[in-house]
Amino acid sequence: MASSELGLKLRLVEVRYGAPGINLYRLAACDGQPLPAIEPGAHIDLEVAPGFLRQYSLLWPQPRLDTYEIAVQEASEGRGGSRAWHRQSVTGEIYPGSEPRNLFALNAATATTSYLLAGGIGITPIISMYRKLVAEGRPVQLHYWTRSAEAALFHDELAAVSDGSVRLHHTSGPAPRLADVLADIPNDAPLYCCGPTRMIDAFDDLTAQRPLHLVHRERFAAAPVEAGPAGSFSIHLARSGRTLEVGADETVLSACLAAGIDLDYSCEEGICGACEVRVLSGSVDHRDQVIAPAARATSTVMMACCSRGLTTLDLDI
């Protein structure tokens, strides 16, 4: 996605300390006009540097109608986006941004308790969900794992909750495992989980037998994928009637772009969901991090940047 395709222009107006290694950044619309409204779980693409696009969860509620807020943890082994924020950003700097997307949205109103599970910086979308559920008077329980109280983002806000709906777990001392917490949650309860790769891997394994429509999770980093052979395959584009060959060293996305067919895309790693396309028929080798493993067999979409066809694919393009 080129800068010219990023419809928002956001100015960094405030940087605040959040927790060790984590800062909070407020970005306002350059023209002062209201930004697209968001719901908990939404994220945005921001061009941190020319050609350097990264995805960030948006905190809910918005500080103002013309302002978004994100939390960024500096990652020493990351791809450089977090270091750019922590070491190079200055207030007044302008960042091109995409329209928000939401692949991690809350279910419609229900009387059933929602269980929110967060690890580390994964609290960003989870606390947004918590705030929303509390504001609507819906039952909720939040579990948040960090190394210590000092390492917990939004610690003071969450520690001040006195009704038992927030459980802070510090792994530097005795703390329940994710498996222990899930074992006590009813099978018909909606679950939302965001955290590091190891946590999401464990969550996927532990919830594989639960109803798919109740299990929701979001990764904030790509995980290794055990992929099959990358042979060539064909895609039939239902809207145009064209057929394209996708070579072993190509993706559906790259093949479409080379053929002059415009598709949305962003991370090109299978974690943001921008390149989702509908699959009308065919068998897909899912290699993304968006669709939960348990949902892949019945999924009617694929991520064009990384997933492949095991057969000819008929796509809604």
pLDDT tens per residue across span 11-32: 999 999 999 999 999 999 999 9
Q: What is the spatial distance between Cα 63 and Cα 98, in angstroms, rounded to a whole number? A: 19
pTM, 2 dp = 0.84
Beta bridge partners of 115: 141, 191
Closest of 248, 266, 260 to residue 317, by C-alpha: 260
pLDDT of residue 78: 62
Structure tokens at 5: 């395709």
The span from the CA of 243 to the CA of 183, in Å, is 48
Closest-CA residue to 122 (of 50, 65, 187, 56): 56
Classify domain 233-315 at the CATH topology level: Ubiquitin-like (UB roll) (3.10.20)
- Work out the percent of the chain whose per-residue pLDDT is above 90: 79
pLDDT band for 219, please (50, 70, 90 cuts).
Answer: confident
- Residue 264 dihedral angles phi and psi, to the nearest 5°: -70, 145
Arithmetic mean of pLDDT, 31-48: 96
Q: What is the mean pLDDT of residues 261-270?
A: 86
Spans of all domains in the chain: 3-97, 114-219, 233-315
Q: What average pLDDT does the chain have?
A: 92
* 61 close to 46: Cβ distance less than 8 angstroms: no
Dihedral angle sign, alpha carbons of residues 255, 96, 59, 93: positive
Scanning the structure block, which residue is given the tokens 């895609």? Answer: 235
What CATH class is the domain 114-219? alpha beta
pLDDT-derived band at 228 (thresholds 50, 70, 90) equals low
Confidence tier at 266 by pLDDT (50, 70, 90): confident
CATH class of 3-97: mainly beta
What's the distance, Cα to Cα, between the start and end of the chain in Å? 18
